[in-house]
Amino acid sequence: MATLGMSAAEREALDAFKRDVIDASRNALVIVDFWAEWCAPCKQLAPILEKVAADYAAKGVKLVKIDVDENKAIAAQLRVQSIPTVYAFFQGQPVADLTPAQTEGQLTRFLDQILAQLPVEGEEQQIGAEIEPLIAMGEEVLAGGDGERAAGIFAQIHEMAPDNVDAVSGLARALIAAGRIDEAKALLAGLPEKLAADPALAQAKSALAILELAPAGAETAGHERRIAADPDDHEARYELAAALMARGERDGAADQLLESIRRDREWNEGAARKRLLQFIEAVGLEDPWASTQRRRLSAILFG
């Protein structure tokens, strides 16, 4: 910013701007709120900015308020023509105009998009980098079938970062694998609304839903007899698949549903296909079993 012709007070304000905004934004995302005491819309927006900045502080977001009446030179050089005007600064440069965000929801959506694209270094990001290899370890142990040990690993990660959705998902799935169903339910039920809605938890929720449909240990002999007597008994195949899946017999569960789809893909509004997709989601799309079943399903539907 040009300093030629500035008064001592203006130079002091510029030094403060460099310190609080330019320098502070080297690693953080600094929200700069240009306001004035006489501006009613500024006063309405201020509590929203302050709340969101506080909520996002761990993500590396800071709020700086600049009174345009006391900082006319700065406002002029940044071409602030009306107030409230809200800019986001990163690495010394304005990276976004947040002025259109007038509600908490709009502002958080803006910030989520910005933070997803910029290497902001907040406390949460630093913790995320530290626990990333631990999460990979937990997933490896869980994939190896040791639900109890995986639950111990994910529990430690969850204690370090309670709002990390990958840690929550891993812990819930590990608890389910270890047979600690009530603990998994309590974990998911006690999540804050925003975290509970995260798509990353879909796999754990689907696994619980499967157990709700057919608890482990559900009998299968009756369904098998019904199918032997009538191979087109789709309801028996549907229920048998849930029971098999609940006790870990994934191949058998998929076989029953795929056979039902092969015989009548429209039965009960495509219920067999929907349940198979639910099973695939519960196992995880990255699992080789899931890929195999998706190929088998496609061969029936499009072959």
19 to 26, 54, 92, 174, 295: CA distances (angstroms): 11, 20, 10, 47, 58
Q: From the candidates 29, 32, 42, 201, which is the catalytic residue? A: 42
288 to 46, 200, 241, 244, 284: CA distances (angstroms): 51, 19, 19, 19, 9
Q: Cβ(248)–Cβ(289) under 8 Å?
A: no
Determine the number of helices (DSSP H) and then strands (DSSP E) in the chain.
15, 4
Task: Give yes or no for a cis peptide into 199 (omega within 30° of 0).
Answer: no
Catalytic annotation present for 39? yes
CA torsion, ordered 166, 172, 174, 178, to nearest 10 deg: 180
Q: Is 16 helix (H, G, I), strand (E, B) or coil?
A: helix
Catalytic annotation present for 240? no
Q: What is the CA radius of gyration of the chain?
A: 28
Q: Cβ(66)–Cβ(17) under 8 Å?
A: yes
The sheet carrying 85-90 orders its strands as 61-67, 29-35, 85-90, 93-97
User: Which residues belong to the active site?
Assistant: 39, 42
